[in-house]
Structure 1
Amino acid sequence: MNKKGYTYLKFSGLVILIIILFAFTSKRNKQRKINKVSIEFVEEQDPYVNEMTVNKLLIQNQERVTNVGKEILVLNTVEKGLDAHKMIEHSDVYLTVNGELKAQIKQRSPIARVNAVTSFYVDVTGSTMPLSNSYSAHVPLVHNVSEREVPEVFPLLKKIQDDEFLKKHVVGVFRTFKGHYELELRVYSFRVVIGKVENLENKVRNFKAFYQKALKDQSLDKYKKVSLQFSNQVVCTIK
């Protein structure tokens, strides 16, 4: 047999072997059963949705699922069911070669809690989410804001979340009847008047400069209000 014929025969044999292996693997996969369910919460987050809730969403009947062949379980449908939960931002569901059903869960992250007749959270994307039965988030409490006004206040809430100084000091956000906003601080009793949710970078920069100076002068306890709504200045009201 010449070299060309030998190469052809070798290639044909390899193709046949691949087909046999594929058929064998496919048959084993169809016969394989789900014998374990594993849930993993990605990133370090507070438990707004617990493992029991996710498990119920994954499988309504544990015994039934552990006895169902892999081909019957539609993973995309399972993922869509998880993603539809109001506490879940994203899920990834897959089956391992050992027959283990795994679900990786990323929860939504609240950055503020709105005090309303039916209270709710605002998450990092500006969307609303219900309160959790598993955990209460340590976030600023927002007053006099309805769900309709969330887009208006969201840039301020996001600024508080992203700025370490504000995140440390701000515990409350109030909306006045004029649509202006004021901040309540954790330690000091004075209100910080933001005014309209605009020019936030400049307002926060001015407040930080004022705070550092007043802290050095030990005068922070003297004020009733500190207004940032006027351009490039901080206006203080004495108690």
Structure 2
Amino acid sequence: MRINWNYIKIGALSLVLMGLYAFSNQRNEKRKVAGINIEFVGDQNLYITQSVVNKLLIQNYGPIINVPKEKLVLNTIEKVIEANEMVKSAQVYLTVNGELTSKIVQRKPIGRIEGNSKFYLDDEGKRMPLSMSHSARVPIITGKITGKGLEDVYEILKYINQDDFLRKNVIGIHIEEEERYQLKFRMEQFVVHLGGIDNLEEKFNNFKAFYAKANRDKTLEEYAMVNLEFNNQVVCTKI
């Protein structure tokens, strides 16, 4: 009977590969966590610090270094980190060197509410607590704080953040009665009366045209109120 050596070689190679895989898998299961690495993605203003994340992990799992890797459930660790009110999302994984790495995306505040309760409004229009680690340089929201008022303020803030000039210069939004809004600018003494949130693009374009001309004429300091509420015009009150 003729022996087919090709089949024997393939069979032997398969056994060797299976043995190597089993050996590698067994060694991997015995490996322990060698360290922890926490990375913040994007904005480097830290509203939550590495020490806070480490504390979260210790509170839920105890000391993680030297824990066998197979005892860690990475999805659960991600949920623990994401439960923190400063965190938008987290990705947790183990490196080949046994290091537990967490990449964290923080929530982004775009306005700060100064009312009976104080909190941030984030870039998704949700409430975000103030941070003990960092104070965001965002417009201050004052006045009659209501649910509808905050919805409108979020729309104003979204527009402001898309415009380089407005983002650099608007430092405050005041909520008046009947859902009318005033803006405070960084370098100017006058108040900008926005009215409602209708026709924001037209209102802000009119304002920027007025500002450019008044700045060119060196008359900005002469105004106490700039009213954008009326259609396609800017009504000013002088000091």
TM-score range, shorter chain: over 0.9
Is residue 43–residue 106 contact of structure 2 (8 Å, CA) maintained in 1? no
Alignment of 1:50-129 (within 5 A): 50-60=49-59, 64-129=63-128
The offset of 1:66, in angstroms, is 1.8
Fraction of identical pairs, as percent: 45
Is residue 172–residue 185 contact of structure 1 (8 Å, CA) maintained in 2? yes
Within 2, Cα distance between the matches of 1:147 and 1:74? Answer: 42
| 1:25 and 2:24 matched | yes
Alignment of 1:216-235 (within 5 A): 216-235=216-235
Alpha-carbon spacing, 1:191–1:69, altered in 2? closer, same or farther (3 Å): same
Within 2, Cα distance between the matches of 1:23 and 1:116? Answer: 62
The offset of 1:18, in angstroms, is 2.7
The offset of 1:35, in angstroms, is 1.7
Is residue 175–residue 182 contact of structure 1 (8 Å, CA) maintained in 2? yes
Alpha-carbon spacing, 1:15–1:141, altered in 2? closer, same or farther (3 Å): same
Amino acid at match of 2:155: P
TM superposition score normalised by structure 1: 0.93
Count of residue pairs brought into register by the alignment: 238
Amino acid at match of 2:53: V
| 1:164 and 2:164 matched | yes
Q: 1:109-162, CA deviations, whole angstroms, 9 ceiling, x for partnerless residues?
A: 111100012200011111110000001111110002536232221010111122
Which residue in 1 is equivalent to 2:135?
136
| 1:176 and 2:176 matched | yes
Where has structure 1 moved over 3 Å in runs of 4 or more? Answer: 5-11, 61-64
Within 2, Cα distance between the matches of 1:91 and 1:63? Answer: 19
Within 2, Cα distance between the matches of 1:38 and 1:83? Answer: 16
TM superposition score normalised by structure 2: 0.93
Is residue 47–residue 134 contact of structure 1 (8 Å, CA) maintained in 2? yes
The offset of 1:177, in angstroms, is 0.9
After TM superposition, the structure 1 stretch with the greater mean CA deviation from structure 2, 59-68 or 211-220, is 59-68
Could you say what the CA RMSD is over the residues aligned between the two structures, in angstroms? Answer: 2.0
After TM superposition, the structure 1 stretch with the greater mean CA deviation from structure 2, 153-162 or 126-135, is 153-162
Q: 1:175-212, CA deviations, whole angstroms, 9 ceiling, x for partnerless residues?
A: 11121001001111111111111211111111111100
SS in 1 for 2:138: coil
Within 1, Cα distance between the matches of 2:151 and 2:137? Answer: 21
Amino acid at match of 1:233: Q
Within 2, Cα distance between the matches of 1:229 and 1:17? Answer: 80
Where structure 2 has 5 or more consecutive residues not aligned to the other structure, the ranges are none
Within 2, Cα distance between the matches of 1:91 and 1:14? Answer: 42
Is residue 82–residue 91 contact of structure 1 (8 Å, CA) maintained in 2? yes
